[in-house]
Structure 1
């Protein structure tokens, strides 16, 4: 049975990379329970607002649950100690088992944060931990059964997405790609009388954010000649999703990436 023997610093150095792999593995399925960064910013009017960034968040250990602290606890509780040489000896299987156990109460150990807020948190609390960043990308990925590139028509993307998401139907959503830093939608007045979904497609990185408009909550006069369609403009963002004319925030439901 393989074991490792060394000082705490040697455990940090040589087993640290393995703890990164374990945290990544544990964290991936948890992203669906925290879809975006929940830390707060101050806007131009001095008001607090939730960050909301959702792409590639860091799995950030809390200040009193850093990987260094967890490793130290494992060594003190489960390893053989050589006091004279200040070394510890433990089997690799036992070390990994206990490191996983330390993360069972996941959200009391880790919070998902964007890189900016992760660093701000660590600086605020003077957190000292292993230096490698653990990045957890957008949770879901789907692989279309056709070749996808920046020129793929949006309707092909929609046709592929709708059957994958339980609440989507062909007649309760529309898709738009980024155009001049906006997603532009033209739903009908009738469509917005029921819950409606906007598929915000980024043709550069093939990511999709789904926004929800609750029925009868968006009051915009129809601008088209037949007075049946409404023009919606959503500025491109990885955090704040709002309709430009009404300044109404839209509910972010989930995101995923398409892999060619």
Structure 2
């Protein structure tokens, strides 16, 4: 067993396309520019997002998938790959509670956050919304009482007045969860997407400029040092080695050339 002591959080969204990836990349880049060693992770088996994480942080990003690797495998990967870092940022997948089942949390970002004992930063697409944003956020925060939230980040505000209205509504309805900030719509600096996932890092010749622009966009809306200082530390007892299951062995394995080979 090993002790982990570093600030860490899970960036989750209310749905796919809400700005979760842009926020995660902007946060990773902003923290890296401040001289911090950022351990980046991606929920699930996605192989494209970690490439962008690596460009944002200068460090390899790793996948965390409890369905494929099991609880012990996830804990071991997190402990091993976060060792020596100053902060850990995990980008979720799909919506916070979306997984492999319609009735339980298996394979979801929520499950991963609870498994590692980490708080969630919830990204909400607030475009064309007013007080309804509070009802949406309230539902996500109260849906699972075992999940903890370090903050809510509202995305796609149409104007400063819209941003103020959104923040006021959320603060009144959900005072126990801080509003990290309200982000203005910035479609021109998002990492471009394609069917079945993001473009590969090699496809984006201006990816470094986009990452810096995302970091600027994020830092203009939030007090990053204060939010980082308020993050709880991951201090769970995590295994340094996970048991790797051995596949069942056939007593008489078939010959690759067939029965007569």
TM-score range, shorter chain: under 0.3
Higher alpha-carbon Rg: 1
Greater helix percent: which structure? Answer: 2
Bigger relative CO (Cα 8 Å, ≥ 6 apart): 2
Question: Normalization by structure 1: what TM-score?
Answer: 0.25
Greater strand percent: which structure? Answer: 1
